[in-house]
Amino acid sequence: MKKKNDLDIITLFARWEILDFYGKFAEKGSFNKIAAVCSLALCLAFVASGCGQQKENVTTMTIDAEGKVSYVIYEDFSEDYYDVAELSDMAEKEIAEYNSEYISEKVALLGTEVIENEDQSRVKLEMTFDSCQDFSNFNQEFLFYGTVKEAKEQGYKISTGLVDAKGEKLPDSYLEDHEDRHIVITDDRSRIKAPYSIEYMSNGTILNGKKEADISAVTADTVQLLLSK
């Protein structure tokens, strides 16, 4: 059995290593900043326990009809090895730095809390983004929401291999006939709640109702969700 001091040294070493890892990836613009902070809490929990717990809540991105985004992140959390106040401060610092480049606030942290269950704790961060572009810029994760026409005008290639809930492929003339329909395109793998029903989607998408999609199993580089309106 390790002595308390030994465990403290291991914990401090783990913090240093993970923070260094986070810093390098955030600097390169290839790592979701806030998710990385949450992953830090998760990794430190592993240092203490050596195992993980099944998640009851899932990180979810909600897009409204105007293109504003709310983002709720859930991660396993060990408060013994990482303080929720530190986590919140790190998130606030990243947000303040981003907003400083704009006249009005583009990103906001609505809250940070620890959810206690019988055998585990989870941290929940809730954020809002003024637009999909702000979500993309802040998280370094691509996200587009707009009409099919707007997607084409911006140079995005819409897949002709999209399928509906029954697995039937998109009709050949559908995109030309429905340029006013909205589409979500992203390389993020969070669960998505769309403002309208999802009619066609990338292979591997699992629908949870008409407007919610689990896209974690999609193997394509980007996920596309073609909406009913």
Which tens digits make up the pLDDT trace of 104-152?
999 999 998 888 777 777 888 999 999 999 999 999 999 999 999 999 9
Q: For position 41, what pLDDT does the model report?
A: 47
SS3 31: coil
Do residues 114 and 155 share a domain? no
199 half-sphere exposure, CB direction, 13 A CA radius: 13
What is the Cα–Cα distance from 9 to 129, expressed in whole angstroms? Answer: 38
Domain, as residue range, for 121: 4-139
Answer with the residue of higher pLDDT: 193 or 76: 193
Do residues 28 and 128 share a domain? yes
What is the Cα–Cα distance from 181 to 196, expressed in whole angstroms? Answer: 10
What is the Cα–Cα distance from 36 to 39, expressed in whole angstroms? Answer: 5
Do residues 209 and 98 share a domain? no
Q: For 28-64, write each residue's pLDDT tens digit.
A: 343 455 555 555 544 444 443 444 444 458 999 999 9
Nearest to 72 by CA among 104, 41, 106, 113: 113
What is the Cα–Cα distance from 138 to 29, expressed in whole angstroms? Answer: 9
Do residues 107 and 206 share a domain? no
Largest pairwise CA distance in the chain: 69
What is the Cα–Cα distance from 107 to 60, expressed in whole angstroms? Answer: 16
Start-to-end CA span in the chain (Å): 61
Do residues 135 and 147 share a domain? no
Percent of the chain with pLDDT over 90: 61
Amino acid identity of residue 116, one-letter, is E
What's the whole-number mean pLDDT along residues 182-193? 96
Do residues 149 and 202 share a domain? yes
What is the Cα–Cα distance from 108 to 172, expressed in whole angstroms? Answer: 41
What is the pTM assigned to this prediction? 0.76
Residue 4 has pLDDT above 60, yes or no: no
